[in-house]
Chains A and B, each alone.
Chain A
């Protein structure tokens, strides 16, 4: 199954690149820079997925106390932070030529930035605690609190920003069919990539844990 997924991942990624750079037409107003959108949106989708997985496994960990759920939660958080960082890099790269600004305090952008802050602090918190059940419990608690906070942050920032004129309206799904295809291919390839990464990291952490158990035995 693993070999199959990996074998599938390479052509899928190549196909996504082909679709984004060659198959999809050039956007009339934004030009070539629009092509970053396929990867930007895919990365953003993966963060949401990763943080949802973190939230769910954090709850399951607190309920059951089984180490493997913490491994799943923390692995997912690590990958989520990587993709969130990618979103924050690709976003401004696109925004500078198109909106003529690197950054704007739009609700979605601001919420995303805070989301990134919350999950980076999750990782920092984890990396500064000694290995113990306490660490896993505390991480799970923070994973849950962080996730609950996100909608509240979004509401507050939406209200905060409506005092000022909204510069960017929500983008519609009026995409060219070829662009839509490119987007879905990119989404599928990235999701596959995520599954492979998550599986790899979970196995790695689990082996780490088993080795630490054995060294205690000796």
Chain B
């Protein structure tokens, strides 16, 4: 295995370890996501149809909030002891550092989605059908989009005095297409009759992922270090 790939895997493992072992890591995010998911329901009359119609949107907005928390930590934890400088001094294409960070974010976000989903099924009273197989696919493709844009922006947000706020204001307008597509596809996955339709949404999600993952890999060089 090349040095670059080994570095990327080492960074990914280190970040995953920190996420799962620290108190401010994954568990807090998971809980935060659940709280947001439930909080939204209080904005609706539970006996009306509005909650049923908005449930996919509520799920994805909760995920978007919780993901930004995870993404915000990506480079924050490298600020202690100028670890970020050390990373930028590696005799490698910075794209490998990006790849390591990106993979750890991707795994964490996918896991977050998959763990929140059963709770979503319970609280929003979904009927389990064969269409649910579509859901992991949506999660993976959505997480690819969130993690590619988010990892890049997280490195950028470190230079701003606003930090997490900077990440949010950069990220949300850019990922609007991802959220729209995720909601539309989720509607298809959780409906109780008929075939899955509107496959073109999946194409759009793929296009977003490919464009932004490529752009982030190419451009990351400019945002790491000084």
Contacts and interface: CB of A to CB of B under 8 A. Distances in A.
Interface in B198-217: 200-201, 204, 207-208, 211-212, 215
Interface in B212-226: 212, 215, 219, 222-223, 226
Contacts of B172: 117
Contacts, number: 87
A125 B160 contact: yes
Interface in B144-167: 149, 152, 156, 159-162, 166
B8 to A, nearest CB: 21
Contact of B222 (A130, A137, A148, A159): A137
Nearest to B184: A160
Interface string A109-124: 0000010011001001
A128 B162 contact: yes
B169 A121 contact: yes
A114 B215 contact: no
Interface in B161-181: 161-162, 166, 169-170, 172-174, 176-177, 180-181
Interface string B94-108: 000000000000000
A62 B156 CA distance: 15
Contact of B180 (A128, A138, A149, A156): A156
Chain A interface extent, by class:
20 to 34
A199 interface: no
Contact of B208 (A130, A137, A141, A152): A152
Nearest to A61: B222
A79 interface: no
A178 interface: no
Contact of A146 (B162, B174, B207, B226): B174
Contacts of B174: 118, 145-146, 149
Interface string A51-89: 000000000001000000000000000000000000000
A156 B204 contact: yes
B168 to A, nearest CB: 9
A130 B177 CA distance: 31
B200 A159 contact: yes
B217 to A, nearest CB: 12
A159 B162 CA distance: 35
Given A125-B169, A148-B211, A156 B176 contact: yes
A138 B223 contact: yes
Contacts of A145: 149, 152, 174, 212, 215, 219
Interface string A191-212: 0000000000000000000000
Given A128-B162, A128-B166, A135-B159, A159 B226 contact: no
A160 B159 contact: no
Interface in A155-205: 155-157, 159-160
Contacts of B156: 125, 138, 141-142
Contacts of A130: 159, 161
Contacts of B222: 62, 137-138, 140-141
B173 A121 contact: yes
Contacts of B162: 124, 128
A39 B162 CA distance: 36
A24 B166 CA distance: 46
A32 interface: no
24 contacts: A117-B173, A118-B173, A125-B160, A125-B170, A128-B160, A129-B159, A129-B160, A132-B159, A133-B226, A134-B159, A137-B222, A138-B156, A138-B222, A141-B156, A141-B223, A148-B215, A152-B204, A152-B207, A152-B208, A153-B176, A153-B177, A156-B176, A156-B180, A160-B180
Given A156-B204, A160-B184, 11 more contacts: A121-B170, A124-B162, A125-B170, A128-B160, A134-B223, A137-B222, A138-B156, A144-B219, A153-B177, A155-B177, A155-B204
Interface of B: 149, 152, 156, 159-162, 166, 169-170, 172-174, 176-177, 180-181, 184, 200-201, 204, 207-208, 211-212, 215, 219, 222-223, 226
